[in-house]
Amino acid sequence: MESDRARQLTRLLTPSSVAVVGASPNSRYGMRILGNLARRSWQGRLYGVNPRYQEVAGHPCFPSLRELPEAVDLVVVATPGSAVLTVLEEAQAAGAGGAIVLAADVPDVYRGRIEEISRGSGVAVLGPNCLGYVGMAGGLTGAWSIGLPERPFMAAGAAVVSQSGNLANHLVNCFVGQAFSYVISSGNHWGVSPMEFLEWLLPREEVHVLGAIIEGRPDADGFLAMAEKARRAGKPLCVLHLGRSALGRAMAQAHTGALAAGDEWWRAMRRRVPFAEAGDLEEFVATLKLLARIGEPGRLQVGLAASSGGECGLMADLADSLGVQLAELTEESRARLEEALPVYVHPQNPLDYGASTWGTEEPYTTVVTGIAADAQVDLLGVVQDFPGNPDHVGPWETMMDGAAHAHHRTGKPVLVMTTMGGVPDRYYHRARDVGVQVFAGLRPTMAALAEVTRVGREAVSWVPPRKRLPSAAGPLAEGPWDEWEAKETLAAWGLCHPPGARAGSLADVARAGAAVGYPVVLKALHIRHKSDVGAVVVDLGSEAELVQAAREMGRRLQNAGLGAGRFLVEAYLPRRLEWFVGGSTVSGVLVTGLGGVDVEIWRDTVPVLIGASPEEVRQALSETRGSRILAGYRGRAGYDVDALIRAVVALSDFLGHHRERRITVDVNPLLVGRVGEGAVAADVLLLEEAPAARERSS
């Protein structure tokens, strides 16, 4: 991050002086920020700006920003949307560092000017349509437009940037047993982007883990750059991404649109730079808590214990479905546990230690310590739900103390997990005091265990993304392109296609067949999805067969109102595996997997980010069911995987080079031969969105 930009973000997020524009007794959000700042340990200077008042809530009030006694670090814009631009321009003229724009009704026509004001050394704008932020600047800075709890919930730990204001507010106001160093509500981010906030947070000592709640799809380059910096800095990142269905609409004209699920883009991003993902807010919080506690372990064998067979069965099922590795207890551990447990309890993992042990100091402490001490166990999770009545105490404290003893005696992390959530604050605080953590809900906790392990495993083999190499291919001509033109265009990037020739008449068809050599394939060049309407005929072994097929195809297409058009004659390549690869510059993703006419039925595809390296593509291919076919199985020979990888990389490079244009490409089938036979694009669809449509969607 450039020094000027970092300096302005520091003024925005760690201010020594704050002015609330629009402060008045009738200003709900502005007065809340005034109150939150005044009541907290923040020691900065606080001003109101409103020509109607000389004082607001005990703070001096001035007619305008120009008349303040200093150039404030932070301007809070608590005005209607129509007045926002005027205030920001005044803030810029007055030398302010940053601004929080609360209003959701800021006119769209202001966006370009607000972006301009916020660039570089300008006023770093947070919002519009945001709640502000809560952070550890000068104690506690509560520049937050909703009420804040009185209890101390901010401390060194996770820092979260959320485009959703309400989800951010849940983290701030619903105590979840996780310390947050910063929670930033970025709103519509017309000024500072969520990625810039995350990058600013990275080097701060009080930030141990990063969290991002993202709506839609961010700029790929910006996200990857931030995620790579986080990876290099050793600060884990967890993302909760919302609006997963947007990608499919970007590829609707091709097979890719039917194949690309809503989170394909994120799967591809994760392969480029490993980071944790969460499916909902509970899982997000659980993952942040685990990352802060144990990092990204890579190998994590879990021990589990509960006082109920039903709970143990539920945990076992969740572990199996989510991919949590349960430890196999050693014989020594089993023998020790048998001595401490009732005779009817069988030592295993998950361990049902029986109702007679529940709520007792001994043998409960001995039992849970015995599991945690097992050489195969890296982490222990014990089930304990809490009473809603705060006066109902006793067994819960005893069992939490037993879990704490297990942690301190073995040095291993111990999680106190509830089956349903609903944890009173007192138990979160007590757990923190004795050295364990409470995790609400089995499913989000087990999902988080699986996720941090996955990220750690992927991080071990992570290598920085490759640099894009300049291309020797010439500029891309304007479309539309027929199939042959599309193939020739991609051939310049290294994507091979069968020998072929175009033909406009039956005589030309015959000459093309002779030039290519039999057997051949005949296609109608002007039809996109040819197999759907009989616009392709394969394995034509002679000139007579070829000419007859061309005559019948032309008649059939004309009768269907599709026109005769021109033909393409290509070499027929039998006994090859039909593969698929397609992608879009709009989505930034390729989708690849088993192809042919049934591609949308099998859906055995994986996403690959544009600009992928050969290693990245190889990893993606290994995740398909078709990878077994590629490698060969049950005595059958394998296929030319290296050639397939080169083909996918070639298409990836092509789309990456032309990412400023809205282009979609389908290659289906990509015919993959046996080892050494290469891979050729048998059918190619290359499309570009028309300029008018491009303007409407931008």
> Which CATH number belongs to the domain containing residue 653 in this structure?
3.30.470.20
Dmax over CA atoms of the chain, in Å, equals: 97
Give kind and range of the element (H or E) at residue 488. Answer: helix 483-491
DSSP calls for 497-533: ---EEEESSHHHHHHHHHHH-SSEEEEETT-SSGGGG
Q: What is the model's pLDDT at position 391?
A: 66
**What is the chain's Cα-based Rg?**
31
Residue at a domain's end among 571, 604, 634:
571
Going from the C-alpha of 2 to that of each of 6, 196, 197, the distances in angstroms are: 6, 11, 13
**Nearest residue to 117 via CA among 101, 103, 129, 133:** 101
> Which CATH number belongs to the domain containing residue 140 in this structure?
3.40.50.720
Cβ-based burial of 594 (10 A; exposed 0-12, middle 13-18, buried ≥19): buried
Tell me how many domains the chain contains: 4
Residue 428, in any domain of the structure: yes
Quick check: 567 pLDDT over 50? yes
| pLDDT (tens digit per residue) in 312-346 | 999 999 999 999 999 999 999 999 999 888 888 88
Q: What is the model's pLDDT at position 321?
A: 97
Query: With pLDDT > 70 as the criterion, what percentage of the chain qualifies?
Result: 93
**Nearest residue to 586 via CA among 642, 529, 659:** 659
Q: What is the model's pLDDT at position 247?
A: 45
Average pLDDT over residues 382-397: 76
- Under 8 Å between Cβ of 406 and 386: no
Cβ-based burial of 584 (10 A; exposed 0-12, middle 13-18, buried ≥19): buried
Cα–Cα distance, 22 to 48 (Å, whole number): 7
Quick check: 175 pLDDT over 80? no
For the entire predicted model, the pTM comes to: 0.86
Quick check: 257 pLDDT over 60? no
Angle between helices 165-173 and 281-294 (to 10 degrees): 60
Residue 503, in any domain of the structure: yes
Quick check: 24 pLDDT over 70? yes
Lookup: tokens for 360 = 């007792």
Residues 10 and 100 in one domain: yes
The least confident of 90-99, 188-197, 340-349, 444-453 is: 340-349
Residue 262, in any domain of the structure: no
- Sequence-distant (≥ 6) Cβ neighbours of residue 106 within 8 angstroms: 81, 84, 85, 114, 128, 129, 188, 190
Quick check: 252 pLDDT over 70? no
Q: What is the model's pLDDT at position 696?
A: 43
Q: Which phi-psi region, left, alpha or beta, contains residue 441 (left: φ > 0; alpha: ψ -120 to 50)?
A: left
Going from the C-alpha of 5 to that of each of 77, 99, 101, 124, 205, the distances in angstroms are: 20, 14, 18, 8, 20
Q: What is the mean pLDDT of the chain?
A: 89
| pLDDT (tens digit per residue) in 473-532 | 778 888 889 999 999 999 999 999 999 999 988 899 999 999 999 999 999 988 887 887
- Under 8 Å between Cβ of 214 and 194: yes
Residues 507 and 399 in one domain: no
Torsion of CA 689, 690, 695, 697, to 10 degrees: -30
Residue at a domain's end among 460, 475, 509:
460
Instruction: Quickly list H helices, 205-347.
Output: 220-233, 246-250, 255-259, 264-272, 281-294, 309-322, 331-340
Of 151 and 334, more confident: 334
Residues 205 and 116 in one domain: yes
- Under 8 Å between Cβ of 184 and 161: yes
**Nearest residue to 373 via CA among 346, 403, 344, 410:** 410
Residues 631 and 522 in one domain: no
> Which CATH number belongs to the domain containing residue 544 in this structure?
3.30.1490.20
Which structural domain range is residue 607 located in?
Answer: 577-697
Residue at a domain's end among 533, 555, 571:
571
Backbone angles phi, psi at 135, to 5 degrees: -150, 175
**Nearest residue to 451 via CA among 584, 570, 280, 671:** 280
Residue 78: how many CB atoms within 10 A of its CB?
A: 27
Cα–Cα distance, 269 to 458 (Å, whole number): 13
Bond prior to 194 in cis (omega within 30° of 0): no
The least confident of 17-26, 233-242, 249-258, 474-483 is: 249-258
Residues 195 and 54 in one domain: yes
Residue 619, in any domain of the structure: yes
Q: What is the model's pLDDT at position 392?
A: 63
| pLDDT (tens digit per residue) in 3-15 | 889 999 999 999 9
> Which CATH number belongs to the domain containing residue 428 in this structure?
3.40.50.261
Of 440 and 258, more confident: 440
Lookup: tokens for 93 = 């003229």
Residues 215 and 307 in one domain: no
Q: DSSP secondary-structure letter at 674?
A: B
Q: What is the model's pLDDT at position 287?
A: 97
| pLDDT (tens digit per residue) in 341-367 | 888 888 999 999 888 777 788 888 999
| pLDDT (tens digit per residue) in 72-118 | 999 999 999 999 999 999 999 999 999 999 999 999 999 999 999 99
At 594, the amino acid letter reads: L
Q: Going by DSSP bridges, is the β-strand pair 55-56/59-62 parallel, antiparallel, or unpaired?
A: antiparallel
**Nearest residue to 285 via CA among 416, 385, 168:** 168
Residues 675 and 530 in one domain: no
Q: Going by DSSP bridges, is the β-strand pair 567-571/520-524 parallel, antiparallel, or unpaired?
A: antiparallel
Q: What is the model's pLDDT at position 245?
A: 54
- Sequence-distant (≥ 6) Cβ neighbours of residue 295 within 8 angstroms: 236, 452, 456
Lookup: tokens for 307 = 């006082």
Angle at 520 between CA 670 and CA 566, to 5 degrees: 85
Q: What is the model's pLDDT at position 697?
A: 46
| pLDDT (tens digit per residue) in 624-638 | 999 999 999 888 899
Residue reference for tokens 């694009």: 681
Residue 554, in any domain of the structure: yes
Residues 308 and 448 in one domain: yes
Q: What is the model's pLDDT at position 151?
A: 58
Q: What is the model's pLDDT at position 421?
A: 75
- Under 8 Å between Cβ of 630 and 577: yes
Q: Which phi-psi region, left, alpha or beta, contains residue 394 (left: φ > 0; alpha: ψ -120 to 50)?
A: left
Residues 44 and 12 in one domain: yes
Residues 191 and 224 in one domain: yes
Give kind and range of the element (H or E) at residue 458. Answer: helix 442-460
At 686, the amino acid letter reads: L
- Sequence-distant (≥ 6) Cβ neighbours of residue 62 within 8 angstroms: 19, 47, 48, 49, 68
Of 136 and 558, more confident: 558
Map residue 64 onto helix, strand or coil: coil
Q: DSSP secondary-structure letter at 623?
A: T
Backbone angles phi, psi at 691, to 5 degrees: -55, -40
Residues 48 and 135 in one domain: yes
Residues 446 and 321 in one domain: yes
Distance of CA 664 to the CA centre of its chain: 22
Residue 122, in any domain of the structure: yes
**Nearest residue to 609 via CA among 351, 155, 269:** 269
Average pLDDT over residues 394-405: 85
Residue 595, in any domain of the structure: yes
Residue 525, in any domain of the structure: yes
